[in-house]
A and B are shown apart, each in its own frame.
Chain A
Amino acid sequence: MNEEIRALQAAMEREGYVAEPSIATAVYLAKEMRKPLLVEGDAGVGKTELAKVISRVLETELIRLQCYEGLDANTSLYEWNYQRQLLRLRIAEREVHDPKALEELIFAREYLLERPLLRAITRSAGAPVLLIDEIDRADDGFEAFLLEVLSDFQVTVPELGTIRATHAPYVVLTSNRTREIGDALRRRCLYLYIEHPGLDKEVRILRGRVPGLDEQFARAIARFVQQLRQRELRKLPGVAESIDWAQALSRLRLDRLDGETVRVTLGCLLKDEQDLRETDEQVVAELVARAAAD
C-alpha cells in the first residue's frame, strides 16, 4: 500500500472514521488530482460523515450545501442583503446626491450575503472542504450550473464582477441515487461507492463511537444488524442507525441482547412502519439467537 494512503487512513481512523483502503485511496486520489469526489451508497453508510472527516484531517473548514428540489443559483451562490441596502439608501439619500456614488455604496461587498458556493470560493485561509450533500435531490438545471462552478471555480456577480477562487476547494458530492447523476458531472468527478461495512469494520466503528461498549456486546450488536440487512426491507439500517442503537442499548445499561429489549428499541434501526411490523417477535427472537451464537 502507498505510504501516504496508509497515513491518510490512519489519520481518518484517529478522527473516528474507520475507512477501508478503498475509501482512503479515493480520498487520496481526489486530493492529489484536485478533482471533486462523488460519493454514492445507501442512506446511512457514512457519506456525509466522510466529508466531515476529510475537513478534520486536512484541518480546514467544512462548508456544506444541502441540495433540495428547487434549489437555484441564487440560494446557493449569493444574495444581496436587501434590508440593509434599503436602510443605507434611505440614510444616504440626504447626503449623497450622485446616483453613481449611491449605487456603489449599496452594491458593496459588505451587503453581499455569501451562500455556500461563494463562501467556498472566497475563503482566504486555505482551501476548505465543500460538501454538496444529496445532489440527486436538486434538479438538472442546478446540476448544469454546478458543473460550471466546479470547472473553473469562478463566479460572476453582475454588480461586482468576476470573483475567482483564491484556493480551489476540496469538493465532496454525495448522492443517494434517487435519480441518476448526469454523465457530464460524473465524468468531472472521481467516483466512490461505499458499501455497508463488513462485520469486523462495523464492530470497530461501534466501539469507536460508543464509549464503554465491550467487544463481545459490540460484536453481537453488529451481527444482529448485519443479519437484519440481509432481510428484505424497504429501508436498510445503515451504520448511522446501528450507532444510534448501540448508544441506546448502552444507555439502558445492557450488556447482552434479549428479545424484549430488542423489540422495544428496534425503532432505532428500522425507520419504516411496515419494516417494523414485519420484523415481529418471532423474527427478532430468531435473529437474537443467531447473533448470540458463536
Chain B
Amino acid sequence: MNGVTGHLARFAEAMRQHGIRVGLSDEIDAATALPLVDVLDRAEVRSGLRIAFKVPHEAWTIFDRLFDEQWGGATEVPVPPAANPRERRGALQWRWDGTRVRLEAQLVQPTDGEVPGYSPEQLLRRKPFDRISEAELKAIERLLARLARRLATRRSRRLVPTSGRGLVDLRRSFRRAVGSQGDFLRLARRARLVEEPRLVMLFDTSGSMDPYTRFHLAFAFALRRAVRRVEIFAFNTSLTRVSRDIAPAQILRSLDVLASSVPDWSGGTRIGQCLAEFVSTYPELLARDTTVAIVSDGLDLGGNPSLLTAAMRALHERVRTVVWLNPLLGDARYEPTAAGMRAALPYVDCFAPGHDLESLERLTRMVN
C-alpha cells in the first residue's frame, strides 16, 4: 500500500507543478478510489484518478501526459488537443473577421452613426479619447460620474428584510403575529438587495497608452466616488496601488501627483510581471464576486508570455469576470497579435474596446 500511496503523492506533486490545483483531500480521495477500480485496466485507472483528483476539463491534456509519464507503459496515445472540438472552438472565439473580434453576445459591434438623432453628448460618447480637446474634458468627466453612479445600484435577486416597501415576508410576519395572539398588526416585508459590485481596475500607464490613461483614470476615480469597493492600480514596469493615495475629488491634480509617484510613468510595460505581482500581493482583493478589468494594449516590452499566462490563469480562477479593455480594438484594422495579448486572451471573459465613453459604458453593464 505504501508504494501506491507514495506513487500517488508523487503524481499529485507533478500535477501541482504543472498548475493543476490538487489538494491533500484530493489525494485521499484518489487513494480511496484506486482500490475500487480494476488496476490492470489502464483506461479505468486513468478515468478513476481523473474523477477522484477532480481534474477540470481544460487540464485533461496535461493530466493525460503526466499520467503516461508517471504510471509507465504509455500504450494509449493521449488525445491530441487539436482533435478536441471544445478546445478548438475556444481558440476560434477570438477570430478577427475584419470589422470586429467575435466573442459571444457581450461584445457589441462598434456602432458608427447607427443611433438616430443628434446630440452633442451622443457625439462626445463616441469620440475617441485621444482626440478630445481640453474644453470637452469637463463634459466627459460629468458623463463619467453619472456612469459610475449607475454602476453602484445593482439589485440582486436575493430578497432581504426591509422596513420599507416590498413583498410580504410570511415567515417573519407570522412570527410577529404569534407575539400578538395571531393578529397581523404589521406585515414584514422583503425586497431585493442593492448589491455593491467589487471592481479592481488595472491600468497600463506605459507610453503607448498615454492618450487614454487620463480618461481611464478619470473614469476609475468617478467610480470610486460612487462605489466604495473599487480598487485602482497602475502598472508599467512595476505595480502601484493608486487607490490608496488619491483624492478622487481632484482628478487633474491627482493625475499630476500620480505621474510623479508612479515610477516610469509613460515608459515601457512588463505586464506579466506586474500581474503576477498583483495576484501574489493582493489575494484579499480576488474574491468570487469581483470583476477585474485590465486596461492595456497588450504590448509587452521584453516580457515573458508564460509569466503572463500563469498570472491570467490565476486571476481567471479566482474572480468572477476578467475584462480586458484594449483601446486599439476601437480601430477596425487592429488584430490581437501582440505576444502579450495572445497569451492573455484565453483567460479573458470579455475582450472589448476602451477607446471612448461608449465602450466604458459597456463595461459597467458587464460588471452588473
Contacts and interface: CB of A to CB of B under 8 A. Distances in A.
B38 interface: yes
Interface string B51-63: 1111111001000
Given A22-B51, A140-B288, 12 more contacts: A5-B37, A22-B43, A26-B47, A29-B37, A69-B156, A70-B156, A79-B171, A103-B178, A141-B158, A183-B21, A192-B51, A233-B89
A32 interface: yes
A242 interface: no
A74 B44 contact: no
Interface residues of B, number: 49
Interface string A132-143: 000000011100
Interface in B199-218: none
B308 to A, nearest CB: 20
A41 B43 CA distance: 20
Nearest to B156: A70
Contacts of B33: 29, 33, 190
Contact of A234 (B21, B55, B105): B105
Interface stretch (B23-31, B270-278, B293-301): B23-31
B1 interface: no
A229 B83 CA distance: 12
A2 B156 contact: no
Contacts of B85: 196, 229-230
Given A29-B36, A139-B158, A21 B54 contact: no
Q: A-B pairs with the 10 shortest C-beta distances? A: A70-B157, A22-B47, A191-B54, A2-B38, A193-B57, A69-B157, A26-B51, A82-B170, A89-B182, A70-B158
A191 B37 CA distance: 16
A79 B228 CA distance: 36
Interface of A: 1-2, 5, 21-22, 25-26, 28-29, 32-33, 35, 38, 40-42, 68-70, 72, 74, 79-80, 82, 85-86, 89-90, 93, 103, 139-141, 179-180, 182-183, 186-187, 189-193, 195-196, 229-230, 232-234, 236
Contacts of B44: 1-2, 5, 21, 25
A2 B23 CA distance: 27
Contacts of A41: 57
B263 interface: no
A67 to B, nearest CB: 12
B47 A90 contact: no
B70 interface: no
A276 to B, nearest CB: 15
Contacts of A232: 89, 92-93, 95, 102
Nearest to B36: A32
B156 A191 contact: no
Nearest to A179: B320
B240 to A, nearest CB: 29
Given A82-B174, A196-B85, A187 B51 contact: no
A187 B57 contact: no
Given A72-B159, A82-B170, A90-B182, A191 B36 contact: no
Contacts of A141: 158
A139 B154 CA distance: 15
B289 interface: yes
Contact of B55 (A93, A139, A191): A191
24 contacts: A2-B37, A5-B38, A22-B47, A22-B50, A22-B51, A26-B51, A29-B33, A29-B37, A32-B36, A33-B33, A35-B29, A70-B159, A72-B159, A86-B177, A89-B182, A93-B181, A180-B288, A190-B33, A191-B54, A191-B56, A192-B51, A230-B85, A232-B102, A233-B89
A5 B29 CA distance: 18
B182 A29 contact: no
